[in-house]
Structure 1
Amino acid sequence: MTIRFDDKVAIVTGAGGGLGRGYALELARRGAKVVVNDLGASRDGTGHSDAALKVVEEIETAGGVAMSNGGNVAEYDQMVDMVAKAKERWGGVHILINNAGVLRDKSFAKMEPADFEFVVRVHLIGSAFATKACWDTMREQNYGRILMTASSTGLFGNFGQANYGAAKLGLAGLTKTLAIEGAKNNIKCNTIAPVAGTRMTADLFPEAAFEAFAPDKVAPAALFLVSDDAPTNAIVGAGAGVFQSSYVTLTPGKLLTGDDLSVDGVAANWDAITDRHGEIVPQTGAEQSMLIGKALQGG
């Protein structure tokens, strides 16, 4: 079976290069009409370029259908305008890939508060703004596919990227709630944690690794996660042709009573509290309370 996107309208933010460009090209190749959004800024969020126009030209040259958009994801009104223009031209928006991002890496000790705020605003708030701009349309259509871009930094941490990591784990959390809220309207929401050689990672990868970690080796996972038969609430790692699944888990825990219900008791029972035997992957936040209730009943 070949996965197609005929009759679907897709928005890809940050699609002027790297991963976003790869997603846009493959979506168009498989039949989608694509809004190529890119502010065209450098990776620290400054400057402008005509990157989106070049990707649209690539798509059209290959026989696809696309339009460019220079809106800033961190400005909600610009995202609303982007969605309105897509609907005006093509009648709807079915797919949103939130890919736009910036980096301002420094150790937390040296990081200015403004650099923390800016990175969180672009990645986390920007993705929320773009998603909110699409949300009512997707609900009305009873169809939506949304992909958030997290990172191993958000999931597991990385020195010098406190701002980026905070935003990226926030996106995984946003995904989880939107997957629940969107379910009744056939809106599926997933998270991808890509590893790729792009402008964002230019000084992190040795030159030889760029080919191995080419963006087109991430695109298969991204497109699957916005397809008709996509799962929902998945966290998928992707890089160099390797695809992984990541989970937020919860251990059964340990009920403490009497003298053990104390700071000293937590310390004494730490191994039992953190014992992963029987851990679960909750599908909603309510499951934490349910597990506590089970422990209270002696289950």
Structure 2
Amino acid sequence: MKKDLQDRVAIVTGAGGGLGRAHALELARHGARVVVNDLGGDREGSSAQQVAEAIRRLGGEALVDGGDVRDFARMEAMVEGAAARWGRVDILVNNAGILRDKSFGKMTLDDFRLVLDVHVMGAVNCTKAVWERMRAQKHGRIVMTTSSSGLYGNFGQANYGAAKMALVGLMQTLALEGEKHGIRVNCLAPSAATGMTAGVLPEDALAGLAPEKVSPGLVALVGDDAPTRMILLAGAGSFECAHVTLTHGVFVGDAPDAAAQVRARLHEIRARNGETVPGSGWEQYKLELAKAGFAMELAATE
């Protein structure tokens, strides 16, 4: 019987352990050929080599790449290597990441930049490396790894939270730009016990947060029937969806006391009855112009 992802070619970054390892193995179980990327993973006996061997023992096919996601040339070479071996690249899972947790006052700017560089520019580099190939083949599935730290905030994770919310913005726009080319882009926000969460969560909670319990959600985001622009939350076998919404708000116009009105009516502005999930950033413009008495169609261009 044909598997869901039979002969699809997937790249998983940061796949030497934790979530990346679980994702790579789950994709392989569903029939995908997998590039196991992990920094330094091309060294003999590395964790990435072990993941690739585990995939082969399952009867699957795997390549190992040891490139740094911050190095665009290496990511281009990784994509070209996968395409040379298997003829195409269908799936990109931007999973690589690091933590440098400290309260903002104690955090160095170097640690702030490093986290953004790995999470944000790493995802940008990998996505840029596959984008034109996916456009040409009229098929692509890209998953950004976001986090509740970005969506909702977490003490001591200003750098990580900023990076993870940036990936939501990247996903929103790439999903719009890729839609007509058959490219679907989503975010996955995992709750999992990995090397990155060691010492962050209590031991009794970690036991229920196996990375393997997140990966079924990933499979749902990369299949032929995958959604696009979804923020899927996953952990402990549970799955939820997050939305960036827009309330209806109020109109105060050019009133002399406009600032005072806004202050006095903040409870109305934040009221969630009638809120919407905008189709694009232009929805804010359209809503505000409509409340001001204008009616116009605004469209983004290619």
Tell me how large the CA RMSD over aligned residues is. 1.9
Identical amino acids, percent of aligned pairs: 52
Instruction: Count how many residue pairs are aligned between Structure 1 and Structure 2.
Output: 294
Residues 1:81 and 2:77 are matched in the alignment:
yes
Residue equivalent to 1:33? 33
Residue equivalent to 1:19? 19
- Alignment map for 1:180-259 (pairs within 5 Å): 180-259=176-255
Residues 1:114 and 2:110 are matched in the alignment:
yes
Structure 1 residue 211: deviation in Å?
Answer: 2.8
Amino acid at match of 1:33: R
Structure 2 residue ranges without an equivalent (≥5): 296-302
Residue equivalent to 2:89? 93
Select which of 125, 142, 147 maps to 2:143: 147
Instruction: Provide the rounded CA distance (Å) in 1 between the counterparts of 2:207 and 2:249.
Output: 45
Structure 1 residue 283: deviation in Å?
Answer: 1.5
Instruction: Provide the rounded CA distance (Å) in 2 between the counterparts of 1:173 and 1:15.
Output: 24
Contact 1:40 1:49 in 2 (8 A): no
With normalisation by structure 1, the TM-score equals 0.94
Instruction: Provide the rounded CA distance (Å) in 2 between the counterparts of 1:76 and 1:5.
Output: 27
Amino acid at match of 1:51: S
Structure 1 residue 40: deviation in Å?
Answer: 4.9
Instruction: Provide the rounded CA distance (Å) in 2 between the counterparts of 1:49 and 1:155.
Output: 37
Instruction: Provide the rounded CA distance (Å) in 2 between the counterparts of 1:239 and 1:58.
Output: 24
- Alignment map for 1:149-188 (pairs within 5 Å): 149-188=145-184
Structure 1 residue ranges without an equivalent (≥5): 42-47
Residues 1:57 and 2:24 are matched in the alignment:
no
Extract structure 1 runs of 4+ deviating beyond 4 A.
none
Structure 1 residue 210: deviation in Å?
Answer: 2.8
Question: Equivalent residue of 1:148, what SS?
Answer: strand
Amino acid at match of 1:28: A
Instruction: Provide the rounded CA distance (Å) in 2 between the counterparts of 1:31 and 1:69.
Output: 20
Instruction: Provide the rounded CA distance (Å) in 2 between the counterparts of 1:155 and 1:57.
Output: 36
Question: Equivalent residue of 1:280, what SS?
Answer: coil
Change (3 A) 1:272 1:214: same
Amino acid at match of 1:221: G
Residue equivalent to 1:45? none
Contact 1:3 1:227 in 2 (8 A): no
Instruction: Provide the rounded CA distance (Å) in 2 between the counterparts of 1:36 and 1:25.
Output: 10
Residue equivalent to 1:66? 62
Change (3 A) 1:25 1:117: same
Amino acid at match of 2:179: A
Amino acid at match of 2:18: G
Instruction: Provide the rounded CA distance (Å) in 2 between the counterparts of 1:36 and 1:219.
Output: 15
Structure 1 residue 259: deviation in Å?
Answer: 3.3
With normalisation by structure 2, the TM-score equals 0.93
